[in-house]
Every structure is written in C-alpha cells, then in structure tokens.
Structure 1
C-alpha cells in the first residue's frame, strides 16, 4: 500500500530511519512513499534517485537533500502550507 507524505510531514518520516543511512537503503525503506508537494506528487524513491549523496548522516541532512532536489514549483509560494497546493 502506498503512503502519501506531505512535505510538512517529511521530518517525521525520516526520523523513523536509523542513521547514518545510505541513499540506496532510503530508497528501499521508503519505496512505498509518494511525496505530496505543491506541484503534485512523485515517488520519494524518484526524488532520492536525483540526489548525488551516497549517505545521510542525520535526519536534517536527508531532509535538506530532498528539499534541494524538489522543483521550486513543488515547494509552493511563500505563505502556503507545505504539501498543499
């Protein structure tokens, strides 16, 4: 079953993992997650495929890398709630 996770729920999801966490392991752990953002949805695994890092040392690092990979349109306009479009 696919889980939908909004951007503002991403931290809670990433906190369920054990760090350091390789990007490959993150793809496996979160292969059932669709990331919901202002520009639509996409599999979290597809977002992770665009990340050049091999490993995340912390939740904050993972979240930062994911946010930097999402298209600007996906983050939405200033003042909008994350993940709601």
Structure 2
C-alpha cells in the first residue's frame, strides 16, 4: 500500500528513521512513499536515487538533500520564486 506524503509532512516522516541512515536503506525503508508535489508526485525511492549522498547524519540533512533533488516545478508554481514580490 502506497503512503502519500506532502512536502510539508516530509520532516515528520524522516524523523521516524534511525540515524545515521544510509541512502540505500532509506530507499528501502521509504519504498512505499509517494511524495506529493505542488504539481504532481514522485516515489520517494526514485528521488533518493538522485541524491549524491551515501548516508544521512540526521533528519535535517536528509531533508536538505531530498529538497535539493526535487524538480523546481514540484515546490511551487513554475517560475515562481519566494524571494520575488
């Protein structure tokens, strides 16, 4: 059964793991998680395959690495920047 997790729920999910957490272990542990973006969704395991780290030391480090691998259209409206306005 697939668990759908929104981006704002990612921190809570990552805090359920034991650290340090190898990325390969995270891919297995979160294989059933579908990460829901602002524009679509993606399996968390697929996203973790694009992360350059081998291991996460903490939930914060895991979240930072995951966020850096999310497509730009996944975090808001295309072309939108939180710094503009």
Counterpart check, 1:76 vs 2:76? yes
Q: Which residue of 1 aligns with 2:55?
A: 55
**1:31-76 CA distance string (max 9 Å, x none):** 0000001120110000000011000000000000000000111000
Q: Which residue of 1 aligns with 2:35?
A: 35
Note the residue ranges of structure 2 that are not aligned, 5 or more in a row: none
Aligned residues: 79
Q: Which residue of 2 aligns with 1:83?
A: none
1:66 is paired with a residue of what secondary structure? helix
* Structure 1 ranges of 4+ moved more than 3 A: none
Q: Which residue of 2 aligns with 1:45?
A: 45
The TM-score normalised by the length of structure 1 is 0.89
What is the CA–CA distance in structure 1 between the aligned matches of 2:39 and 2:69, rounded to whole Å?
13
What is the CA–CA distance in structure 2 between the aligned matches of 1:44 and 1:73, rounded to whole Å?
16
The TM-score normalised by the length of structure 2 is 0.89
Q: Which has the higher contact order (CA 8 A, sep 6+)?
A: 1
